[in-house]
Amino acid sequence: MTSPPTVSVVIPVRNEWTHLGAVLDAVLAQDYEGPIEIVVADGGSTDGTRALLDARAGDDPLIRVIDNPGTTAAAGLNLAIAASSGEIIVRCDGHAEFSAGYIRTAVEVLTATGAANVGGVQAAEGERLVQQAIAIAMTSPLGVGNSRFHYSSAAGAADTVYLGTFDRESLEEVGGFDERLLRNQDYELNHRLRAAGKVVWFDPRLRVTYRPRATLGTLWRQQMDYGRWKRTMLRRSPDALKARQLAPPLLVLGLMASVILIAASQPVGLSLPVVYGTFLVLGTIGEGLRRRHVAALLLPVVLAVMHLAWGYGFLFGRARL
């Protein structure tokens, strides 16, 4: 019988002390039978993350810590991949906890499908009320459109996936992560893999617990970053554009036009705000009935923050390579 392929789990971190211990525990608890190593690239943490990492690496020979002078996630990923030796590269983040059997299942799916990258569900979970509402929005089509890795239960080829388990040769063939992008590195990399004739595969059995932003202010900044870096990426790869990505900027432009019309005493200016407000209310009722969670009552505000911040960032946010 052939031996299971060697696996390298690569984790870029910076100031992830709060969740990193649980992240490492989830990786170390995996039931994968083949050789495994964990390479963590620290981007100059100042919150106790490095002390935690050094202590864990001192206790467990599977964990290795390297410096990431570039500080960004893409730079850390590329450094960790270069320092690793596995045939399979499993990406993890400092606030993402693998479910039981994640690595074993990911390697099996990668082998069975012949894909270059496989990934699963970004299972957002909150701990307090606002974060729980944000988690609901991030796992609903109301918040993320038809982006499958947030909620889908159907396996198949996809345009992108969360995190990812990569065939090392395919990853190196396309040049790894683009370090010029501070956001959207995953989407851009998966676009290059697909452009090279390779398959990106989604499997809902691969679940990763993700801790979303805990406040509306940090959610606004995150979504604005996503929007502006998406525009930057699409300027370089316009063929990667998806229809869902046009909805938030068109909404922002429409609401700006509505303000102008209302200021000019034109009743038609009320049309879009009324339609959008109705959408938020009806969507909240639907999600509230489905989730049966009090946090769903905050969805109108959370969804509006997500939509408007993303759209504003796409249209007006500055993102320099």
User: What would the pLDDT profile of 133-164 be if each residue is shown by its tens digit?
Assistant: 999 998 888 887 766 666 677 889 988 899 99
Extents of the domains making up the chain: 7-214, 234-316
- Secondary structure (3-state) at 268: helix
Q: What's at 290, amino acid-wise?
A: R
User: What would the pLDDT profile of 219-234 be if each residue is shown by its tens digit?
Assistant: 999 999 989 888 888 8
Provide mean pLDDT across the span 22-50.
94
Predicted pLDDT at 146: 66
SS (H, E, C) 209-238: EECCCCCHHHHHHHHHHHHHHHHHHHHHCH
> pTM for this structure?
0.84
Distance CA 15, CA 10 (A): 16
Distance CA 35, CA 240 (A): 36
Q: Give phi and psi for 201, each to the nearest 5.
A: -120, 135
**Cβ contact 216:114 at 8 Å:** no
How does residue 181 score in pLDDT terms, banded at 50, 70 and 90? Answer: confident
Q: What is the mean pLDDT of the chain?
A: 91
Distance CA 88, CA 70 (A): 24
First to last CA, the chain: 48
**Helix H or strand E encompassing 37:** strand 36-42
**Cβ contact 319:232 at 8 Å:** yes
Fold of 7-214: Spore Coat Polysaccharide Biosynthesis Protein SpsA; Chain A (3.90.550)
Share of the chain above pLDDT 70, in %: 97
Predicted pLDDT at 215: 95
